[in-house]
Structure 1
Amino acid sequence: MINKWWRTNKFAAGIVTVIRLYLGYGFLTAGWGKISGGAFDASGFIGNAIKNPVSGPDGSAVYGAYTSFLESVALPNVELFNFMVPWGEVLVGLGLILGCLTTAASFFGMVMNFSFLLAGTVSHNPTDILMGVLIITAGANAGVFGLDRYALPYLRKLTNKGKETKAVTN
């Protein structure tokens, strides 16, 4: 019942719009600060996450696979991550603020927040993830007061072009 209300009600669309504007502003300003602030370098953060992984009570790494990913993929390709992190934050922020491809923007924002959590940084990431879950749960209703109102029907039309269903006659 609450899920149907959250996904279809105009008042719920207004609430989720406020949430996505707030979250989008946070992503946009974080990304823009990295881009305009000069040389953003994630190598120190990644190196620290590798050196000091999240550990359990027995001292073993809790997210060993993620630490291995950082060590074998992220750190050797840090230039790529130095590009992807700030621009990803800007694009997620713009998507959320403009309400364009809102659920995709929210999903990729959650991926970034989970990445920081897996690396051992808590900060505001849990609340950002919670807001992302609320946005994704709202589905298309999250972008009713945004560009999704126009973009989603257009994308549906594009994906259905040429897929005319033909009745099978015997």
Structure 2
Amino acid sequence: MFNNFLRENKISAAILTIIRLYLGYAWFTAGFHKITGGFDASGFLANAVKNPVKGPDGNMVYSWYVNFLENFALPNIDIFNTIVPWGETLIGLGLMLGCLTTAAMFFGLVMNFSFFLAGTVSHNPTDIFLGFIILTAGYNAGKFGLDYWVVPFINKTVGKNKAKSAA
């Protein structure tokens, strides 16, 4: 019942637009400040490796993630110094404009969980909660945005391509 409300109701679409604009602005400004102010994730990642999330027993909780950071992210820090600020900015634009909303929110949630796994709590729980509402709502979250035109265009284009490949 709640899913139907999120996915089909016009009042829900209006509420989702407010949530989408809030999250979009937060993502956009975070990314834009990193792009314009300079950004280097190496200190953050090194600290996440040095001080991993530990459970009550004192053991590392996400050792696989620490291994990823240590063996992949830190050696390729230039890539991460590019994709983090640009990813945040593009997620924010997608959410604010309501363009490819579910894709933008999916990648926003991936980034939120990445920050979480690295031991940063901050506003991530709230963003994750609101992000899952947007993701669950699907198309309706971007109905009052560019998705109103973009999603039908994509569906129409994909449908033509499927028909051509089936013939």
TM-score by length of 1: 0.94
Find the aligned partners of 2:5 and 2:61 in 1 and give their Cα distance: 38
User: Secondary structure of the equivalent of 2:75?
Assistant: coil
Q: Which has the higher helix share?
A: 2
Aligned residues: 164
State the match for 1:32 in structure 2: 32
Find the aligned partners of 2:69 and 2:157 in 1 and give their Cα distance: 38
Q: How does 1:16-165 map to 2 (within 5 A)?
A: 16-37=16-37, 39-164=38-163
- Counterpart of 1:26 in structure 2: which amino acid? A
TM-aligned CA deviation for residue 163 of structure 1: 2.8
Q: Which moved more, 1:16-25 or 1:1-10?
A: 1-10
Find the aligned partners of 2:71 and 2:154 in 1 and give their Cα distance: 37
TM-aligned CA deviation for residue 32 of structure 1: 0.4
| Identical-pair percentage | 63
Show structure 2 runs of 5+ residues with no match. none
Show structure 1 runs of 5+ residues with no match. 166-170
Find the aligned partners of 2:2 and 2:80 in 1 and give their Cα distance: 39
State the match for 1:4 in structure 2: 4
- Counterpart of 2:5 in structure 1: which amino acid? W
Find the aligned partners of 2:33 and 2:163 in 1 and give their Cα distance: 48
TM-score by length of 2: 0.96
TM-aligned CA deviation for residue 164 of structure 1: 3.1
- Counterpart of 1:71 in structure 2: which amino acid? E
Find the aligned partners of 1:162 and 1:109 in 2 and give their Cα distance: 29
Taking only aligned residues, the RMSD between alpha carbons, in angstroms, comes to 1.0
Whichever of the two has the greater Rg, that structure is: 1
TM-aligned CA deviation for residue 162 of structure 1: 3.8
Q: Deviations over 1:114-147 (max 9, x none)?
A: 0000000000001001111000111100010000
User: Secondary structure of the equivalent of 2:144?
Assistant: coil
